[in-house]
Amino acid sequence: MAGVVEVENLKVVLGRREILRGVSCSLGDEGAGKAVGLLGPNGAGKSTLIRTLLGFHTPSAGRARILGFDCHRETREVRLRIGYMPENDSFIGNVTAVNFLRMFAELSGLPAKVALEKAHETLFHVGLGEARYRELRTYSLGMKQMVKLAQAVVHGPELLILDEPTNGLDPAARQRMLRLVREMKEGQKMNILLCSHLLRDVEQVCDEVVILKDGMVAHGCNLEEERRSNRRFVELEVVGDDGGLGAGLEGIGARGVAEGAGRWRVVLPAGVEVDALWGVLRREGLLVHRLTHRRDTLEEIFLKAMGHIAHTPGEAA
């Protein structure tokens, strides 16, 4: 399956600074409705990458394609298929939310009547139904974020690009925003490119992450695969004589390392589930104090990509 976003050796120079220094990656699967998180510290080039994909910046080398269309040469085709929610406040203060969405839906090519219907429909969906005839300048920050999301999805894009969508939202509004984004992905099969500093947001919504550092891809991983592989690593704490546990684990094909004081790290081979481990522990007559799966959080993956830690705890196991 072709990637939704395909970037090859992309370089972007702004002023005299090279912001993107040869980014290459393939994000998402066309038609699959996947969410990709774009992470990186400040100045890593996340926003520049997004703006280059939107055709705002001209690459000095390399190329970027969205859904098979070149972002620089076929800008119009690209923009017909995407929805963009910018990081900063972007609205028109003296128009009502309905007219705001209607105009942008029409600019994206929806017929006028359909655009009006979709504007109402989308505003109710994001929870602004009651406020849809109010001018946008009277909206609170949370409402403005929601209306930005609404304008990005009103025309039903294939790819939704969200730049810090939960900026400035309180916890309840943040959860609502993330729920809406998940619904777009799972219910409407939209592909999502989510750029955020908040790793928990990315963890909750995304299937893949790409981590940028100094204008280059530092790490890319599939969060689902990561979660699956994490389930194969078990941390164990037992009470009793665990002298025979090593042999017992070998009996089911697993490998274990004793760390002393009843602590073990166990790697289960493919096809062996935790039930088999429980069986070994029962046969050895051990009392289990703790049995946990390894959890390399996105924060650990991110810190490792940034070079702040050498290994994630799971890898150390």
Partner 1 sequence: MAVYKRGYERYRGRLEGRWRRLLVLPRYTFRRMFRQRHAIVVLVASLAYPLWCAVYIYLAGNADLLDRLGSFRQYLAIDGAFFLRFVSVQKVFAVFIVALTGPGLVSPDLTDNALPLYFSRPLSRADYVVGRLAAPVALLSLATWVPGVLLFLLQCGSAGGGWFAANWRVGVGMVAGFWLWLALCGMVALAGSAYVKLRPVASGLVLGFFFVLGGVAGMVNLVFRGTAGSLLNPSWAVWRLSAAVMGTDGKGGAAIASAPGAAAAAVALAVLLLLLVLVLERKLRPVEVVS
Interface with partner 1 (CB under 8 A): 14-16, 51, 54-57, 75-77, 79-80, 82-84, 86, 88-94, 99, 103-104, 106-111, 114, 117-118, 120-122, 124-125, 129, 136-137, 151, 153, 155-156, 183, 188-190
Q: Residue 50 CB, nearest distance to partner 1 (Å)?
A: 10
- Under a CB-based contact definition with an 8 Å cutoff, are residues 30 and 3 in contact? yes
3-state secondary structure of 303: helix
Q: Residue 64 CB, nearest distance to partner 1 (Å)?
A: 15
Give the span between the Cα atoms of 193 and 178, in whole angstroms: 13
Closest CA to 51 of 86, 100, 23: 86
Q: Residue 286 CB, nearest distance to partner 1 (Å)?
A: 53
Give the span between the Cα atoms of 28 and 31, in whole angstroms: 9
20 - beta bridge partners? 12
Q: Residue 188 CB, nearest distance to partner 1 (Å)?
A: 4
- CB closer to partner 1 out of 93 and 251: 93
DSSP alpha helix (H) spans, the chain: 46-53, 75-80, 97-107, 112-125, 141-153, 171-186, 199-205, 223-230, 245-251, 274-284, 298-306, 313-316
Q: Residue 80 CB, nearest distance to partner 1 (Å)?
A: 5
Give the span between the Cα atoms of 242 and 287, in whole angstroms: 10
Q: Residue 63 CB, nearest distance to partner 1 (Å)?
A: 19
Half-sphere exposure in the Cβ direction for 207 (13 Å, CA): 14
- CB closer to partner 1 out of 137 and 228: 137
Q: Residue 156 CB, nearest distance to partner 1 (Å)?
A: 4
Which strands form 69-70's sheet, in the order they lie side by side? 17-27, 5-14, 61-66, 69-70
- CB closer to partner 1 out of 129 and 251: 129
- CB closer to partner 1 out of 71 and 199: 71
Give the span between the Cα atoms of 172 and 176, in whole angstroms: 6
- CB closer to partner 1 out of 151 and 166: 151
Q: Residue 48 CB, nearest distance to partner 1 (Å)?
A: 9
Roughly how many angstroms between the first and final C-alpha of the chain, as a whole number? Answer: 34
- For 198, phi then psi, to 5°, come to -85, 105
Closest CA to 85 of 107, 129, 54, 115: 54
Give the span between the Cα atoms of 45 and 212, in whole angstroms: 7
- CB closer to partner 1 out of 47 and 196: 47
- CB closer to partner 1 out of 187 and 279: 187
- CB closer to partner 1 out of 92 and 316: 92
3-state secondary structure of 273: coil
- CB closer to partner 1 out of 102 and 213: 102
Q: Residue 54 CB, nearest distance to partner 1 (Å)?
A: 5
